[in-house]
Structure 1
Amino acid sequence: MATDTSRTVIRLDDVTATREPPGPRLPMLVQTILFGGFRRYWLPHLRRRYGEVFRLRLYPGRSVVLLTDVEQIRAIFAGPTSVFHAGEGNVILKPAMGDHSVLLTDEDVHLRARKLLMPAFNGASLRGYRDMITELAEAEVRRWPAHRPFSAHARTQAFTLEVILRVVFGVSDGPRLDELRHLLGRIVDIGPIQLIGWFNPDLQRTGPWKRYALTQRRVDELLYAEIAERRRATDLADRRDVLSRLLTVSADSDEPPLTDAELRDQLITLLLAGHETTATALAWTLHELARDPDALARATRAADEGDEKYLEAVVKEALRLHPVISEVARKVTRDIQIGDMRIPAGHTVMPSIGLVHADPTHHPEPDRFRPERFVDANPPTGTWFPFGGGVRRCLGAGFSQLESVIMLRAVLSRHHVTPERLAPEYPKARNITTVPARGARIVTTPRS
């Protein structure tokens, strides 16, 4: 089987190429550190040196192939899920999210999990969340300090965590959730060096790796306690939160009911992925608006007029300029051929969101913040994919964009935003995301 495109061929059968992708020969640990902490500079250099396809070796023993050609990336996203395993490609997340996470399973197991979770994020559910999100957004921005610098990222994290707690559990208060709220902040606040400890049991006995393991253990205790309590509830059918939905659907299905471990893994996935990525996207959005008076003025008018189309364009442009996650991953289950190169089974192919978004071929003046790119016509298909693509596209993408637009409107309706410093903040690696190095520090002035 060959996947034909206008410029390339990805061959899944009758692979004839013998040449494997080129790449640097640095030690694995050095490549891992460069990739984890300095990819913003290193990957463009590698692309210039090796071309559209190049290979890296990353801890703990992964061979990954970066892809930057849009046609090849489209073919990967459209390829059979039996060949391109996204769950195995996301193996780095397994220590935090567990074996059963929708992000870490493949084929039938993944489809079952996605089918169970999808109703919580479809169109009808999104419409039902609007009032709740608006209420939480307006309450959050009323608490923002005036006339003094603060971290926009810290505040957007607080907001998105409250939202996802309400969506997942139906409530966001109580001693157990108060403690969970505090601990989840520690779970997401880790850098590339700490990630290495996820796969090294010896490191987990000391220092920050031990503290992380203890925090994770306590988070699990809280989640299992919440699951046990919810199983005893007699009104599950009347509740619309994700945990109750999972228990209700599981009980009504012909398939075996979800175990506590399966429930835990889906809940922690939603809690972590469902608030950190959106919070970071919002922080980058405010960071860019604060430094662009013209874009800020137009976005403020849009907020006043209820023009959510333009506010959505602002968020999309921030995600283009600062993709929260720089790559998506697919582990290939058999040899494939990309162009004239063989990708052996077991390698992980990584479509590079960051490199495609920064390519002037697709996005003229790619370093400029220009929301107008998304107002009248979107960029060419396949050149903007911050939520991934294909059947594994993030199931919460619509929810994230709705949440971002509502929050942005709440901020701009109430505050004028300026930067703490004129110099832009650089991206910093935080777990698998890329965040503003200083927290997107801004100053807000209440609008009269």
Structure 2
Amino acid sequence: MTYPPGPPLPAFVQTALYLRRRSLFLGALRRRYGDVFAVRVPPFNDNVVVFSRPEHIKEVFAGDPRTMHAGEANNILGPVMGEHSVLLTDEAEHARARKLLMPAFNGAALRGYRELVTEIAAAEVARWQPDSTVSTLDRMNALTLEVIMRVVFGVTDPAVRAELVPRLRRIVEVGALQYAGLRLPALRRYRPWQAFHTNLVAVDALLYREIAARRAAPDLAQRADVLSRLLHAGAEAPLTDAELRDQLISLLLAGHETTAAALSWALYELSAHPAVQRTAFEAARDEDDKALEAVLKEAMRLHPVIPGAVRRLTTETTIAGWTLPAGTTVSCSITLAHRSPENYADAEAFRPARFLEGAVEPNMWLPFGGGVRRCIGAGFSLMEGTVVLREILLRYALAPGAAKPERGRVRNITTVPRGKARIVVTAR
């Protein structure tokens, strides 16, 4: 029983490369060691085996959730999301959390949210000035945070919003190295970890206050936001305040900057590809949601926001012919799978049509993970992104806002446009 081959570099060097040059690092390792290789990236995970072929990913996603713990593998999220998070629990506890959350993201719920998301998107785009340069990462972060505040938290009180919004933004904007250090309590004595922890404590106090107020709301059963739905759905087996807090923060981190980054990348690519943009505008005009969704999906393929879907093995397990010991973390690399020329013809090209032609097979497109741990907010994210693209494209033509091609950088655990994906907007 041995691990697959991997780089002989010291663990701290591997971690630094993974955080700062993730795509280049993983691509170089696949070229050097093949489709399966091992890396060490503490404090995330010490022994990681990376897979990227669809058949290998299928083995992981179809694996028994009792022997492949996703929650345990996502331990780096613990200091922020909390022990009750749907992303950090496993087996029975995870199934309970998922069962409570799922009704808030089913088809009927999404149809109910769509009008509100449209209203928020239209208000955001109406503030843009024609013939100006827009920093799309900043504007999409503001937009998606507003969606989270109203759709998930259900906060409409201006005073509460004024307190909560800037503090939530500080959680999201933490750097990758700072985020990696959150697992070390000793660092809380030093800036910037001390400031982050102080802000998180303040956020918790605000959320607990809002939860208490919502529990007492006389119209709780009529409210459609996710927090109210969770309180109402859990009436027979009530969720504790700590459980509610952890799910709210998880939905914030899983659904805020991820969607904002995906939209930023989509707008950047549309600005750089006039012919694709013209087709997308026609789709917006004709209310062709599938074609607009394809634009978002292709941006998420070409620019993965999250690097991989991970599992921690609880027992010795064989995957892709490798027998791996308990404690190993297996990673289905979204970064490698999405850029593989074996998975995608013209893998480096921005071509949304591939998602309308039936050319994308299962276990090749992985932004939302897979198996029993597939992101429950996947449908919401795609709906939100489609609505936002429509509102922008109907009002503006897009052109590149910078001379140099956009590159990615890691912020917290997501990959965002380094230059904030600036575009020039012109009224149609």
Q: State the TM-score, normalizing by the size of structure 1.
A: 0.93
Whichever residue aligns with residue 312 of structure 1, its letter is E
The yes-or-no answer on 1:314 pairing with 2:298 is: no
For 1:124, the equivalent position in structure 2 comes to: 108
Q: Aligned match of 2:282 in 301, 312, 330?
A: 301
For 2:29, the equivalent position in structure 1 comes to: 46
For 2:190 and 2:156, the matched residues in 1 are separated by 33
For 2:2 and 2:300, the matched residues in 1 are separated by 35
Does the CA-based 8 Å contact 1:419-1:443 persist in structure 2? yes
Does the CA-based 8 Å contact 2:153-2:248 persist in structure 1? no
Report the Cα offset of residue 378 of structure 1.
4.1
Does the CA-based 8 Å contact 1:137-1:407 persist in structure 2? yes
Does the CA-based 8 Å contact 1:160-1:278 persist in structure 2? yes
For 2:114 and 2:156, the matched residues in 1 are separated by 17
The yes-or-no answer on 1:31 pairing with 2:31 is: no
For 1:138, the equivalent position in structure 2 comes to: 122
3-state SS of 2:174 partner = coil
For 1:332 and 1:22, the matched residues in 2 are separated by 19
For 1:418 and 1:236, the matched residues in 2 are separated by 46
Q: Deviations over 1:331-360 (max 9, x none)?
A: 010111224422110111000011011001
Q: Deviations over 1:153-178 (max 9, x none)?
A: 11111111111111123343421222
The yes-or-no answer on 1:442 pairing with 2:428 is: no
Give ranges in structure 1 of 5+ residues lacking alignment.
1-17
Give ranges in structure 2 of 5+ residues lacking alignment.
none
The yes-or-no answer on 1:168 pairing with 2:168 is: no
The yes-or-no answer on 1:245 pairing with 2:229 is: yes
For 2:356, the equivalent position in structure 1 comes to: 375
Whichever residue aligns with residue 38 of structure 1, its letter is R
Q: Aligned match of 1:92 in 60, 76, 80?
A: 76
For 1:401, the equivalent position in structure 2 comes to: 382
For 1:415, the equivalent position in structure 2 comes to: 396
For 1:169 and 1:194, the matched residues in 2 are separated by 26
For 1:186 and 1:63, the matched residues in 2 are separated by 31
Report the Cα offset of residue 48 of structure 1.
1.1
For 2:279 and 2:322, the matched residues in 1 are separated by 47
3-state SS of 2:37 partner = strand
Q: Deviations over 1:185-231 (max 9, x none)?
A: 11111222102221112222111111111111111111011111112
3-state SS of 2:416 partner = strand
Q: Deviations over 1:215-268 (max 9, x none)?
A: 1111111101111111222221121211112112222x2x3x211111100111
For 1:236, the equivalent position in structure 2 comes to: 220
For 1:96 and 1:383, the matched residues in 2 are separated by 30
Query: What is the percent sequence identity of the aligned residues?
Result: 53
Which region of structure 1 is more displaced relative to structure 2, 373-382 or 282-291?
373-382
For 2:320 and 2:386, the matched residues in 1 are separated by 40
For 1:219, the equivalent position in structure 2 comes to: 203
Does the CA-based 8 Å contact 1:327-1:354 persist in structure 2? yes
3-state SS of 2:308 partner = coil
Q: Cα RMSD (Å) of the superposition? A: 1.2
Report the Cα offset of residue 375 of structure 1.
1.5
For 2:319 and 2:89, the matched residues in 1 are separated by 25
The yes-or-no answer on 1:184 pairing with 2:168 is: yes
For 1:247 and 1:420, the matched residues in 2 are separated by 45
3-state SS of 2:234 partner = helix
For 1:288, the equivalent position in structure 2 comes to: 269
The yes-or-no answer on 1:345 pairing with 2:326 is: yes
3-state SS of 2:18 partner = helix
Q: Aligned match of 1:278 in 230, 249, 259?
A: 259
Which region of structure 1 is more displaced relative to structure 2, 171-180 or 394-403?
171-180
For 1:179 and 1:62, the matched residues in 2 are separated by 38
Report the Cα offset of residue 49 of structure 1.
1.1
For 1:426, the equivalent position in structure 2 comes to: 407
Report the Cα offset of residue 387 of structure 1.
0.6
| Number of residue pairs the alignment of both structures matches | 427
